[in-house]
Structure 1
Amino acid sequence: MTEKSTEKPASKAKTRKAAAPKKAVAAEATPAMAPAPVAKATRKTAPKPKAASVEAPVAPKPAAQSAPSPTPPQSEPSPESTFDSEQMKALEDLSINLAKAAITAQTALASAVLKQPDFNGTPNGDPFQVAPAMTSVMTSLAQNPEKVIEAQTDLMTGYMSLWAEMTRRSLGVETPEDTTPKDKRFSDPRWQQNLVFDMMRKSYLLSSTWLNNLVSSVEDVDPLHKRRAEFFTKLVTDAFSPSNFLMSNPAALDTLLSSKGESLVKGMQKFADDLARGDGKLKISQADYAHFKVGENVATTPGKVVWRGPLFELLQYNPTTDEVHETPLLIFPPWINKYYILDLQSKNSLIKWLTDQGFSVFVVSWVNPDADLKDVTFEDYMFGGVYKAMSLVREQTGSPKVNTVGYCIGGTLLGVALAHMAAKGDDSVSSATFFTAQHDFSEAGDLLLFTNEAWLKELERQMDAAGGVLPGAAMADTFNALRANDLVWSFFVNNYLMGKDLTAFDLLCWNADQTRMPKALHMYYLRKFYHENALSQGKLTIAGVPIDLKNVRIPVFEQSGREDHIAPPGSVFKSARLFGGPVTFVMAGSGHIAGVVNPPAAQKYQHWINELSNAKGLPETLEAWQKDAVEHKGSWWDYWAQWLHDKSGPMVPARDPSKGKFKPDMDAPGSYVLVKS
């Protein structure tokens, strides 16, 4: 015990002695202050921890004997100090608006999810049959590795050239003129002015073109599988364009910053409105729909509803000349749309223009069917539509014959009716004109991709769920998908990412005014014409009568559109060759709508005429026809009107719709066209 008691103090003493130099070092680190005295250690009292904090400070040494104090380190300026008050306010507004936009979008999406209907039945994960189509393409490529290697080499060569160009440009070296094909998505000059965005643009175009070309290069697969693979590959590559994303679109970003985020708030409100308008499904607005009202500033050509039935209203238009041709003109528009595409505004109304040329014009305005008409058939539309309308026009005018026009599927229906009439010996039609109409569907447009059996079953399911009719929005979505860049993504960017106001465009307002279609009629049309191509193969029978277009020997005028993706000119040309009489074929510039609705006063586009084939008959192929075709500037309407004058008989006093056999029920455009889907 004694030894232990004598060792502990010694140990403590050593510890304190070792600590003393540390305090001295600390004191030397601050020469302006004298070292504080150290309390003496005793065996009887323990050191007091607070002693140092209460001792009086020792006076500092004279300044002359001390080294100068080092300059205190300067703190980094706060981020706020780099912005002035106006910039800070702009950043604050931007942050608030970004939050508003996010909340608006999230609220709209949550509401849309709650509106989704319960799914009844067995889901079909691939109604478009994309997987079999892509499998066929991939299998073909796997069996031809040299083609893949060649494609990969081309891609890498393209990227090496692009990287070299971007490197030179970043160093300020002049680069060759941009040879990238023009693309409306990248028309804003900022895509080329900024190096980063130019790199995005060119790398995207290089990769997407490469992928689309690779899919198109396969040769040993089913043609329909190949077309389907090409279509959906392009659909995907179009969707992933950098122009479709806020952070990779320089125009959208500049708009976002210059508006302090208000553009995105406005855009997300438009997004929410379109979701609500589609009842939980995104229904992208394409125009200022409120600007146009049917009967007020579109579909305003004066006329009367002279007859109404369960399938259509018959409109007779007021004459604008003192005399008219004896033979009236009866127009059958497609039932898939509303007729007033031919009567938008006075400046581009085909109906108004025809009355000015001295024709008595009648138009069928199809009903917008509901569930009560779900069982109406193709034959019902032919007998209760085409046949009935022809009879009514003859009665109303006293003319023994009529001239007819069929637009799109209205033309398909008219062609079948004419063949049926020919088989029955009915010669009450003087001539037939077809606007972008198909009768041979072997080379039909991209709609052919939506007629496989799996998709037809999906359509039937949708129609059953809607009470036996195809909702108007369903067909509109299909047409929009056929031209996704123009009808989907351009509006997605302008409406939602940039918050732009919609323009008042009459054609797009009409395009959004959809109609429903009866299940029985629509399924028959898709199966018999698109899926089976029964008409051109002589396999179609109506009411027990075989339908053969070779029996139609009246004069026929066929108009096609060079850029038509619904009824391609090659398909229309093959259809024209099915008729047994003289056929005048014209190819117009532009597509399915603008190629038709192109008044002479607009001085737009062009058209091609082949007088040699008009005299001697159509050659076997469109390519052969084009070799001798002559291009003419502007509209084809005048050329058609001259053809029609020769088929319309002598001039007679103008016919007042109010003085015919049938008394008018109401003014044009009637009531059927006003029914919304």
Structure 2
Amino acid sequence: MTTNEIEFHEESEKLKENLQKIEALSTRFAAALAQKKPIRHALQAPGEDFFASSAAAYWQKTFNSPGEMFEHQIEFWGKTLRHAIEAQQSFLTQGTAPADNSPKDPRFRNPLWDTHPYFNYIKQQYFLTAKALEQSIDKLEGLDPQTQRRVEYFTRQMIDMMAPTNFLATNPDALERAVETEGQSLVDGLENMIRDLERNNGELVVTLSDPDAFTVGENLGTTEGGVVFRNRMFELIQYKAVTEKAYEIPLVIFPPWINKFYILDLKPENSLIKWITEQGFTLYVVSWVNPDLSFADVGMDTYIEDGFLTAIDQVRSLSGQDKINVVGYCIAGTTLSLTLSLLKQRGEDKVNSATFFTALTDFSDQGEVGVFLDDDFVDGIEEEVADKGVMGSLYMARTFSYLRANDLIYTPAVRSYLLGTAPPAFDLLHWNGDSTNLPGRMAVEYLRGLCQGDQFAGEGPGFPVLGTHLRIEEVEVPLCAIACETDHIAAWRSSYRGMRKMGSKDKTFILSESGHIAGIVNPPSKKKYGHYTNDDWPEDPTEWQAGATRHDGTWWFRWGEWLASRSGKKKPAPALGDSSHPVLADAPGTYVIARPTL
């Protein structure tokens, strides 16, 4: 037997072995799928009314503007036919791919998309079809702006889902790798998919980061500190001072309870928590509990009374200060504004200044996430929490992922399942997958009263809670708001409008480049994203941006100066806790690593 024959025999044996592995894995795959629990239809797709109104609007546009619709159809079929003929000629002559004017897209990096007639044909036809779909739904007649926005969003979802890069037979990267590895990449990809199904009880949720690469408290969330208070809702972490002297007025950060607080303390080089302590501030951070079924009774009132107000009082007691500085991030910023309104009504002057990170208080324009805030989805959530008591972490995580489906679903799935590669060790993506549950009553109150009803900032008596109605104009403490330019969760223009409505006469608004996370976790060492400032508060946020000054680098130092001027004098830095607040656990505490069973 020759050397070539031996190599071919060995390769054939490897291919045969991999095919047998795939067959064996099929049994495990079926078992993993069998774990899947039924999910109510209202949580998976828009309601039937949405589809009916969209279809009616499409046909109305067709009847009212038949010339425009026929023009689009003729243009599409003409380009499709011409493209098919050009591709056929390339195949027959074994020439290069025909002229390609399709848009640049990072999903189509492989040179074969441009040079090989088959793959180029598929790519160009995909973009032609995508454009035709977008043209067909442009400015549908009889739809309100919100429904039009939803039609465009869900059409884009279908376009992204059907991209040829998402399928083995039409992805040159996956086919090349399968050939190179004698099918090993397909075996690895199937194993990756099965592991994801098994981790999520039959739900296919792609793992974004190596689950074994990070452990909270070991290589994430490692800034030194201790838990100095704990109740049912949260652990209060005090961080150890790293300067001899610290400002006398402490700072407490309220992170969102949709995710976990260590987004602000991923690694030392990008930790906002560590940076704050290095600037001489005495810092406390709330670590919210991850709710189980026993938290079904918890509402917005509980988060305000047993969360915000309790934490504020505990920090006042620990520091000996009558007034403290506070930060609210995302939904915690929304709730902080409610708390400040309540304190104003009660005549309690406990907050010296407030900072809001990417927080919405005016929901008149819900931004991109608004496509999930109509009654069809919210009704489904209300039914789910009435049945289960809590809103499982899967639903929120999936919702936010679909706002960036190519980045957070399809591209990672292609790498993992089609290419068979292991997920990367990426701290931010690890945090992104470490989501939490939401108490049922709280979720419904937030969605109905604030997101849908805009009761805090809109017309009417205010947001009802704790026996009163809270209004946005009652927020009168000095405030600083940081919003993010490409934020897909808390649109910066909506954040601006809310801050503008607040009653404070001392306001600062900073617009950071980038999105909901990267715009906030923007350490100086990266020198990556800049920020904008403008001392004026015109009614139109676009006018504010047009008149703003851009600054290189992070906003952290600008905010640090703002906070320092409202933090009093410096004095010897305090130790962790006191006699009535002993250290109960080292940071990052116990709540952040708890995984309740539902």
Q: Same fold, TM exceeding 0.5?
A: yes
Matched residue of 2:137: which SS? helix
Q: In the alignment, which residue of structure 2 is the partner of 1:609?
A: 533
Contact between 1:332 and 1:405, CA under 8 Å: does it hold in 2?
Answer: yes
What is the aligned counterpart of 2:143 among 221, 236, 240? Answer: 221
Please say if 1:321 is aligned against 2:243. yes
What do residues 527-557 of structure 1 show as CA deviations (whole Å, max 9, x unaligned)?
1111211111143122233312212222221
Q: In the alignment, which residue of structure 1 is the partner of 2:31?
A: 111
Point out the structure with max Rg over C-alpha: 1
User: So what's the TM-score if we normalise by structure 1?
Assistant: 0.82
Q: In the alignment, which residue of structure 2 is the partner of 1:476?
A: 397
Contact between 1:440 and 1:536, CA under 8 Å: does it hold in 2?
Answer: yes
What do residues 18-44 of structure 1 show as CA deviations (whole Å, max 9, x unaligned)?
xxxxxxxxxxxxxxxxxxxxxxxxxxx
Contact between 1:98 and 1:264, CA under 8 Å: does it hold in 2?
Answer: no
Q: In the alignment, which residue of structure 1 is the partner of 2:219?
A: 297
Shift in Å at residue 126 of structure 1?
Answer: 5.5
Q: In the alignment, which residue of structure 1 is the partner of 2:232?
A: 310
Distance 1:439 1:133, change over 3 A: farther
Shift in Å at residue 133 of structure 1?
Answer: 4.7
Contact between 1:397 and 1:660, CA under 8 Å: does it hold in 2?
Answer: no
Please say if 1:585 is aligned against 2:509. yes
- Distance in 1, matches of 2:423 and 2:210, equals 5
Please say if 1:561 is aligned against 2:481. no
Which moved further from structure 2: 470-479 or 178-187?
A: 178-187
- Distance in 2, matches of 1:400 and 1:560, equals 29
Contact between 2:33 and 2:197, CA under 8 Å: does it hold in 1?
Answer: no
Please say if 1:287 is aligned against 2:287. no
Look up the equivalent residue of 1:620 and give its one-letter code.
E
- Distance in 1, matches of 2:85 and 2:534, equals 50
Shift in Å at residue 646 of structure 1?
Answer: 1.4
What is the aligned counterpart of 1:449 among 352, 371, 384? Answer: 371
Q: In the alignment, which residue of structure 2 is the partner of 1:66?
A: none
Distance 1:430 1:181, change over 3 A: farther
Contact between 2:368 and 2:491, CA under 8 Å: does it hold in 1?
Answer: no
Distance 1:177 1:152, change over 3 A: closer
Please say if 1:551 is aligned against 2:468. no
What is the aligned counterpart of 2:541 among 595, 615, 622? Answer: 622
Contact between 1:168 and 1:175, CA under 8 Å: does it hold in 2?
Answer: no
- Distance in 2, matches of 1:669 and 1:135, equals 51
> Unaligned stretches of 5+ in structure 1?
1-80
Look up the equivalent residue of 2:108 and give its one-letter code.
F
Look up the equivalent residue of 2:31 and give its one-letter code.
S
Distance 1:265 1:447, change over 3 A: same
What do residues 360-394 of structure 1 show as CA deviations (whole Å, max 9, x unaligned)?
11111111111111101111110111111111101
What do residues 42-84 of structure 1 show as CA deviations (whole Å, max 9, x unaligned)?
xxxxxxxxxxxxxxxxxxxxxxxxxxxxxxxxxxxxxxx9x94
Which moved further from structure 2: 90-99 or 622-631?
A: 90-99
Look up the equivalent residue of 1:568 and give its one-letter code.
A
Contact between 1:448 and 1:531, CA under 8 Å: does it hold in 2?
Answer: no
Q: In the alignment, which residue of structure 1 is the partner of 2:288?
A: 366
What do residues 477-504 of structure 1 show as CA deviations (whole Å, max 9, x unaligned)?
1112221111111111100111001111
What do residues 120-160 of structure 1 show as CA deviations (whole Å, max 9, x unaligned)?
x9989955454235324423422332332233244346546
Distance 1:177 1:593, change over 3 A: farther
Shift in Å at residue 670 of structure 1?
Answer: 0.7
Matched residue of 2:352: which SS? strand
Q: In the alignment, which residue of structure 1 is the partner of 2:453?
A: 532
Query: What RMSD in Å do the two structures reach over aligned CA positions?
Result: 2.6
Look up the equivalent residue of 2:284 and give its one-letter code.
F
Distance 1:606 1:383, change over 3 A: same
Matched residue of 2:127: which SS? helix
Distance 1:102 1:217, change over 3 A: farther
- Distance in 1, matches of 2:37 and 2:417, equals 25
Distance 1:126 1:177, change over 3 A: closer
Distance 1:377 1:117, change over 3 A: same
Please say if 1:500 is aligned against 2:421. yes
Contact between 1:97 and 1:265, CA under 8 Å: does it hold in 2?
Answer: yes
The correspondence of residues 213-292 of structure 1 with structure 2, limited to 5 A, is 213-218=135-140, 220-292=142-214
Distance 1:568 1:164, change over 3 A: farther
The correspondence of residues 5-24 of structure 1 with structure 2, limited to 5 A, is none
Contact between 1:267 and 1:496, CA under 8 Å: does it hold in 2?
Answer: yes
Contact between 1:97 and 1:262, CA under 8 Å: does it hold in 2?
Answer: yes
What is the aligned counterpart of 1:674 among 590, 593, 598? Answer: 593
Q: In the alignment, which residue of structure 2 is the partner of 1:520?
A: 441
What do residues 308-360 of structure 1 show as CA deviations (whole Å, max 9, x unaligned)?
00111111100111111111111111111111111111111110000011111
Contact between 1:327 and 1:401, CA under 8 Å: does it hold in 2?
Answer: yes
Matched residue of 1:337: which SS? coil
Shift in Å at residue 462 of structure 1?
Answer: 2.9
Look up the equivalent residue of 1:571 and give its one-letter code.
S
Which moved further from structure 2: 145-154 or 663-672?
A: 145-154
Distance 1:125 1:569, change over 3 A: closer
Contact between 1:137 and 1:226, CA under 8 Å: does it hold in 2?
Answer: no
User: So what's the TM-score if we normalise by structure 2?
Assistant: 0.92
Shift in Å at residue 590 of structure 1?
Answer: 1.4
- Distance in 1, matches of 2:322 and 2:247, equals 13
Which moved further from structure 2: 358-367 or 218-227?
A: 218-227
Shift in Å at residue 409 of structure 1?
Answer: 0.2
Contact between 1:336 and 1:515, CA under 8 Å: does it hold in 2?
Answer: yes
The correspondence of residues 24-39 of structure 1 with structure 2, limited to 5 A, is none
The correspondence of residues 366-515 of structure 1 with structure 2, limited to 5 A, is 366-466=288-388, 468-515=389-436
> Unaligned stretches of 5+ in structure 2?
none
Which moved further from structure 2: 131-140 or 641-650?
A: 131-140
How many matched pairs?
589
Shift in Å at residue 606 of structure 1?
Answer: 2.0
Matched residue of 1:182: which SS? coil
Q: In the alignment, which residue of structure 2 is the partner of 1:93?
A: 14
Q: In the alignment, which residue of structure 1 is the partner of 2:561?
A: 642
Q: In the alignment, which residue of structure 2 is the partner of 1:338?
A: 260
Matched residue of 1:115: which SS? coil
- Distance in 2, matches of 1:125 and 1:489, equals 17
- Distance in 2, matches of 1:124 and 1:661, equals 46
**Which fold has the larger relative contact order, with Cα–Cα distance below 8 Å and residues 6 or more apart in sequence?**
2
- Percent identity at matched positions? 37
Q: In the alignment, which residue of structure 2 is the partner of 1:139?
A: 59
Q: In the alignment, which residue of structure 1 is the partner of 2:573?
A: 654
Shift in Å at residue 165 of structure 1?
Answer: 6.7
Matched residue of 2:281: which SS? coil
